[in-house]
Amino acid sequence: MVKNNNKGTTLDDLANMVAEGFGSVDRRFEDIEKRMVTKDEFNSRLGSLEKKFDKLNCQMDEVYDILKRFEENDILNLQKRVQILEKAVRALATSQSSK
């Protein structure tokens, strides 16, 4: 026996609406399940990321070491150049004062 409410919706209409709602929820869960990974896949991906991170850390350490060497060499080179200029200025001052 199918009854109507005040708005003209039958129990069959209501049952169809509920079924469509559950179908929509089922499709959403299927989409979520497709995007989910297993524990093994997760661990594999995490292991891969850890290896990449370790490699990146090593590369950053190498870059730091290279920059440190450049800075040290640049400082030594600048110190030598300043010493040469100081000697030249002293020699020039001595030659100017003797005139």
The whole-model pTM stands at: 0.43
Instruction: Please report where in the chains the tokens 């005139």 appear, as a residue.
Output: 99
pLDDT tens-place string over residues 46-87: 999 999 999 999 999 999 999 888 888 888 899 999 999 999
Provide the pLDDT for residue 89: 94
Q: Is residue 2 part of a domain?
A: no
Parent domain of 68: 54-99
Q: Is residue 92 part of a domain?
A: yes
pLDDT tens-place string over residues 1-60: 455 555 677 888 889 999 998 888 888 888 888 888 788 888 999 999 999 999 999 999
Q: Is residue 28 part of a domain?
A: no
